[in-house]
Amino acid sequence: MPSSCQRRRRSTPGLPLLVTLGCLSLFSAAVAQDPVTCVVRDTATPCLKVRSDSSTATEPFECISPGTVVTVIASVPYWRKVNLPDGRSGWVAKMYLEPATAPTPGPAPAPPPSDAWLEVHFVDVGQGDGIWIHTFDDGIDGNGKFEGLNIVIDGGPDSSDSTNQMLKYLQAHGHDGAVLDALIVTHPHDDHYPGADGLRRHFTIHDYYDPGYPKQGVAYPAFLAAVQQDQTAGRIGQVHLGKQQFGSLDWGSEITAEILYSYPGSSTGLGSGNTLENNSSIVLRLQYGSRSFLFMGDGEGKSRTGSADQPKYVEEDLLGSVASDKLKSTVLKIGHHGSETSSTVPFITAVDPEIVVVSSGRKNYQGSGSTPVFLPKDSTLRRCCCHNAGIRIYRTDQNDEAEGRTTTDDADGDHIVIRTNGTDLEVKALEAGQPFTVSSCRPGC
């Protein structure tokens, strides 16, 4: 399913991106590039709108016909700045351009250039997970590296367009019908997959990944049925249901992306009920240069009352099956929202992160009980800090407790964006939409 000037091996449109969320724009400034000649695709019907800014909120000042030759001079996620034949310049959707000549395959992978930033956005969806990854875009489409890909992991708890924070975040950067190169639903819990249903309705998806856990009931099977109908209709390219269908992840030669764990097809040794579903989670690791990210989904390492020194479940599997250099990671998206059941001592020691990200909200896990239970647990964060007091912990529920937030208003803009050029690592974090800085661990040992 190719997309525009993105990759000739794809055929469906791409998702233009405009960052308008406060300090996040610092991570998405237009990247100048050597001029590249492209042609407006036939799919731009009746013509391709040209705007003064990379935003669908900007009225177009020109509309150019399919077949028009333009020169690409800069890019932001999902958009291209082009010089028109009459000498004017403006922004067009990347999805409607293709190279005027076949791209030349790039050389063997080398250390990324210092300005080639990979961005990982941990979106505040309230109680749940929602992650958007954007790879660097060098404007040279189809050569297999720096292609400006967009990968989403989970979508948060809300399917409705009016409350779906992951959808709103992406729509603030793009437009309906655009492409997500990969959509990964880590497991079928309702704080992870419902938002992905909204993304499915609004975007075109190249590859959908699902652990294949046999969830009972009505809602999740209906979601999967809709995914498969989208594949039949051509809105989803490939559906990878279960680890046997995952294959290898090709997100550009500069990236090593691997699924380290997923539901093995049997519940043996994975607990029962919610624990079992958590332990069906897809665990993904991404390496870029010398920097790496480990996304744990809701994978667990112990029971609530079990010893933090004796790993079980997903963490035991990873410790026993993954080489140490493949487990160690610069950034750890902690498992199960920082529950006591995640992040055992041996696991934290093996991963040895510099940064821990907690995706959480203000859900009371005790229900109507007299003693509320919220995530993350201090005991879990303390294990991270006792491993290394220099670890920085970022949370999408930043200060939500002090602000008196509940599940109705906990998605208040506590976004975390981490970017790396393969060597340097930078973090921009927001609290209720305003920048804040974390210096080091707070919980003591």
**Would you list the domain boundaries of the chain?**
22-99, 118-436
Structure tokens at 136: 């660097």
**168: part of which helix (H) or strand (E)?**
helix 165-171
The confidence score (pLDDT) of residue 106 equals 56
Between 417 and 104, residue with greater pLDDT: 417
Pair 327, 320: CB distance under 8 Å = no
417 closest CA partner among 427, 409, 431: 427
182: region left, alpha or beta (phi > 0 left; psi from -120 to 50 alpha): beta
Total-model pTM: 0.87
**Amino acid found at 95:** M
Tell me the C-alpha distance between 326 and 442, whole Å.
28
53 closest CA partner among 85, 87, 26, 30: 30
Q: What is the pLDDT of residues 176-231, one digit of tens each?
A: 788 899 999 999 999 999 999 999 999 999 999 999 999 999 999 999 999 999 99
Q: What is the pLDDT of residues 77-124, one digit of tens each?
A: 888 999 999 999 999 988 899 988 876 665 555 667 899 999 999 999
Strand ranges for 12-77 from DSSP E:
31-40, 48-51, 60-64, 69-76
Contacts of 242 (CB under 8 A, 6+ apart): 210, 211, 212, 262, 263, 265
Between 4 and 364, residue with greater pLDDT: 364
Buried-state track 233-262, b at ≥16 Cβ within 10 A, e below 16: eebbbebbebbeebeebebbbbbebebbbb
Structure tokens at 330: 């610069």
The confidence score (pLDDT) of residue 409 equals 96
Strand ranges for 253-317 from DSSP E:
255-261, 283-288, 291-295
Q: Which of 35-49, 89-103, 311-325, 329-343 has the lowest mean pLDDT?
A: 89-103
The confidence score (pLDDT) of residue 12 equals 38
- Longest CA–CA span in the chain (Å) reads 70
pLDDT score of 17 more than 70 = no
Confidence of residue 417 (pLDDT cuts 50, 70, 90): very high
Tell me the C-alpha distance between 38 and 44, whole Å.
13
According to DSSP, the residues that pair with 89 across neighbouring strands are 83
Q: Same fold for the domain at 22-99 and the one at 118-436?
A: no
Pair 96, 40: CB distance under 8 Å = yes
For 62, list phi and psi in degrees, rounded to 5: -155, 155
CATH of 22-99, one of 3.10.180.10, 2.30.30.40, 1.20.120.530, 3.40.190.10: 2.30.30.40
pLDDT score of 416 more than 50 = yes
Pair 190, 222: CB distance under 8 Å = no
Chain centroid, CA 346 distance in Å: 27
What does the DSSP 8-state code read for residue 115? Answer: T
Q: Is 388 exposed, middle or buried (0-12, 13-18, 19+ CB in 10 A)?
A: middle
Q: Above pLDDT 90, what percent of the chain?
A: 77
Per DSSP, the three-state class of 33 is strand
Q: Give the CA radius of gyration of the chain.
A: 22
Tell me the C-alpha distance between 371 and 232, whole Å.
48
In whole angstroms, how far apart are CA 227 and each of 37, 157, 194?
Answer: 36, 17, 12
Per DSSP, the three-state class of 205 is strand
Q: Is 396 exposed, middle or buried (0-12, 13-18, 19+ CB in 10 A)?
A: buried
Give mean pLDDT, residues 408-431: 96
CATH number of 118-436: 3.60.15.10
Q: Which of 7-11, 165-169, 317-321 has the lowest mean pLDDT?
A: 7-11
Structure tokens at 133: 């990854």
Tell me the C-alpha distance between 202 and 199, whole Å.
5
Tell me the C-alpha distance between 286 and 259, whole Å.
9
Q: What is the pLDDT of residues 268-286, one digit of tens each?
A: 999 999 999 999 999 999 9
pLDDT score of 10 more than 90 = no
Q: Which of 163-167, 168-172, 333-337 has the lowest mean pLDDT?
A: 168-172
